[in-house]
Chains A and B, each alone.
Chain A
Amino acid sequence: MITKRIIPCLDVRNGRVVKGVNFQGLNDVNSPVELAKFYSDNGADELVFYDITASSDGRKIFTDILRETARNVFIPLTVGGGISSVKDFERVLSCGADKVSVNTGAINNPGLIPEAARLYGSQCVVISADVKKVGGAFHVFARGGRDDTNIEAVSWIKRCVDNGAGEVVLNSIDTDGVKKGFDLEMLKAVCDVVNVPVVASGGAGCIEDFITLFKTLPRVDAGLAASIFHFGEVSIRDLKQRMHDENILARL
């Protein structure tokens, strides 16, 4: 049977991996290519590269790094950040990305997901949603979690899937960087309405948080985290051994 996936996320700016807490206060962590190789050799099931560069110079550095990574790392690579057109899909797919995640691009252009799904297949289109609870409702946020769109998140994510997104990355702004566990309430709400893989993001602080995630919500397919892996607080090997011991299917 299919295993639960563990996915380190690398936020890349100007060719370096950075990680913010609640999207602010970025620290330089490591070289993306080296870090990707390290994770691939140490049990990561997949990698997410998130391009947080705004300039076109930065985009070029990012695609060079992506190509260098794909030349050396043979596990699935998902790329996100600044994807607003099918040209952007083409740009990163040609450098070795397997899946492309859209966020603000899908909010601004509702036609992007269906068009990308038609051109590259649903398996390649990931809807990455930054979601926060506002007055009892889940809202989609744009621009790296800065702007409240006032769009109700669960029905919007379902619509994205109906339109061709083949996977959902659900990032809870409320739990991101807090390290007290994943946002189980938000994840359940999304898992209840979609039949594509759901990746939980935001809030992992320790191995136990992943165990709680997969035991409480068996329909979650993967757990994503950044700083706890980058800073060595959680080793992916230890995490997967623990999953195995808890009868959660993992690729050891």
Chain B
Amino acid sequence: MIAIINYGVGNLFSLESSFNAINQDVRVITNPDDLKNYDRIILPGVGAFEDAAKKLFASGMAGPLIEAAHSGKPVLGICLGMQLLFTASYEFGLHKGLDLIPGSVRAISEVIPEGLKIPQMGWNALNLAGHDGIFKNTPDYSHVYFVHSYYAVCDEKFITARTEYGADLTAAVQNKNIYGVQFHPEKSGSAGLDILRAFCEV
């Protein structure tokens, strides 16, 4: 069974619906004690890093989530949820993340040419490092839906997909059982559902 962590950031209705659409048993959970009863965990998130990190730590979810990740349970961070998996973010100051993947989160404005719109909002193609893990059902150059102004900077070995927006931006990461996607699989049509389906099978 899949847990979607609710720590008061953003609406989870679409995410929950997308797992229902692929016939997966899913629950939105608010009680940190419940996390141990699930075998897969989704960390969602929208908005600003600092606010979300504060809420995640204050919710009491961070400890059990880190524990579950270390125990080998598959974890998938989505959008800001992916950014929270990293060591730190440079969004409006320096803020600590969960440190489940070594690396940091930086503004795309530092690397994309001037004139390109920020946030990157819309459908962009995935350049995959391989066809395994959450991308085992995904053809190269599949389009997925992005909305973001920050991106992850980390060791090459963690990057499983990139997308080109004036620069090569990190689109997906993996550190063993810990997965992250910068885009929104729950808003990426059938390509997105394929990725969620694959996550349920890792």
Contacts and interface: CB of A to CB of B under 8 A. Distances in A.
Interface of A: 1-3, 5, 40, 45, 67, 70-72, 74-76, 93-96, 98, 120-124, 166-167, 195-197, 221-222, 251
B17 A71 contact: yes
Contact of A123 (B17, B147, B186): B147
Shortest Cβ-Cβ A-B pairs, 6 listed: A251-B143, A251-B123, A96-B13, A2-B122, A71-B17, A123-B147
Contact of A40 (B122, B145, B164, B189): B189
Nearest to B196: A74
B31 interface: no
Given A74-B187, A123-B147, A251-B143, A5 B123 contact: yes
A98 B47 CA distance: 12
A221 B164 CA distance: 16
A167 B121 contact: yes
B18 interface: yes
Interface string B1-19: 0000000000101100110
Interface in B8-66: 11, 13-14, 17-18, 20-21, 46-48
7 contacts: A3-B122, A70-B17, A96-B11, A98-B187, A124-B46, A197-B117, A221-B121
A193 B123 CA distance: 24
Given A45-B123, A74-B21, A123-B147, A195 B192 contact: no
A232 to B, nearest CB: 21
Nearest to B115: A195
B119 interface: yes
B138 interface: no
Most buried by B among A40, A74, A197: A74
B120 interface: yes
A100 B47 CA distance: 15
B199 interface: no
A123 B143 contact: no
A3 B47 CA distance: 23
Nearest to A119: B47
B124 interface: yes
Interface in B155-197: 164-166, 186-190, 192-193
B117 A196 contact: yes
A196 B122 CA distance: 12
A72 B124 contact: no
Interface of B: 11, 13-14, 17-18, 20-21, 46-48, 117-125, 143, 145-147, 164-166, 186-190, 192-193
A149 to B, nearest CB: 27
B46 A121 contact: yes
A72 B122 CA distance: 20
Contact of A74 (B11, B14, B121, B125): B14
Given A1-B165, A74-B193, A221 B117 contact: yes
A1 B123 contact: no
Contacts of B20: 71
Contacts of A123: 46, 119, 121, 147
A70 B147 CA distance: 18
Contacts of A93: 11
Given A3-B122, A74-B188, A195-B117, A96 B46 contact: no
B47 A166 contact: no
B151 to A, nearest CB: 14
B122 A75 contact: no
A3 B192 contact: no
A68 to B, nearest CB: 10
A124 B48 CA distance: 13
A142 B120 CA distance: 30
B116 to A, nearest CB: 9
Contacts of A40: 189
A251 B187 CA distance: 14
Given A1-B165, A96-B11, A75 B187 contact: yes
Contacts of B124: 1-3
